[in-house]
Amino acid sequence: MKTPTYIEKLVNWHEITDAAVSAFSDSAQIPEKYIRTEEVLDGVVVGEDERYELPVIDMCRLLDPEFSAMEIQKLGAACRNWGFFQLTNHGVEEAVIKEMKDSTVQFFSLPLESKRIVSVRDNGFEGFGHHYSRANDKLDWAESVILLTQPVEARNMEMWPRDPPTFKNALDKYSVETRNLAFQLLSFMAADLGIEKEALQGAFTGKRQSMAIHYYPPCRQPEKKVIGITPHTDGLGLTLLLHVDDTPGLQIRKDGRWFPVRPLPGAFVINIAGILDVLTNGAYRSVEHRVIPDTERGRTTVVLFQEADVEGMVTPLPELLMKVGGQPRYRSIELDEYVKGNFRALADGTRFIDSLKI
Ligand X SMILES: O=C(O)CCC(=O)C(=O)O
Q: Residues in the site for ligand X, rule: CB under 6 A? A: 212, 214, 229, 234, 241, 250, 289, 291, 301, 303
> CA dihedral defined by 11, 170, 241, 234, rounded to 10 degrees?
20
Rounded Cα gap, residues 102 and 168, in angstroms: 12
Contacts of 69 (CB under 8 A, 6+ apart): none
Rounded Cα gap, residues 355 and 358, in angstroms: 8
Nearer to ligand X by Cβ, of 188 and 284: the residue is 284
**Shortest distance, CB of residue 259 to ligand X, whole angstroms?**
13
Peptide bond into 151 cis (omega under 30): yes
Task: Assess contact for 30 and 138: CB atoms under 8 A.
Answer: no
**Shortest distance, CB of residue 123 to ligand X, whole angstroms?**
20
Peptide bond into 164 cis (omega under 30): yes
**Shortest distance, CB of residue 323 to ligand X, whole angstroms?**
31
Centre a 10 Å sphere on the Cβ of residue 248 and count the other Cβ atoms it contains: 16
Nearer to ligand X by Cβ, of 7 and 190: the residue is 7
Nearer to ligand X by Cβ, of 130 and 289: the residue is 289
Nearer to ligand X by Cβ, of 247 and 280: the residue is 247
Nearer to ligand X by Cβ, of 23 and 242: the residue is 242
**Shortest distance, CB of residue 250 to ligand X, whole angstroms?**
4
**Shortest distance, CB of residue 289 to ligand X, whole angstroms?**
6
Residue 93: DSSP 8-state: -
Rounded Cα gap, residues 198 and 318, in angstroms: 13
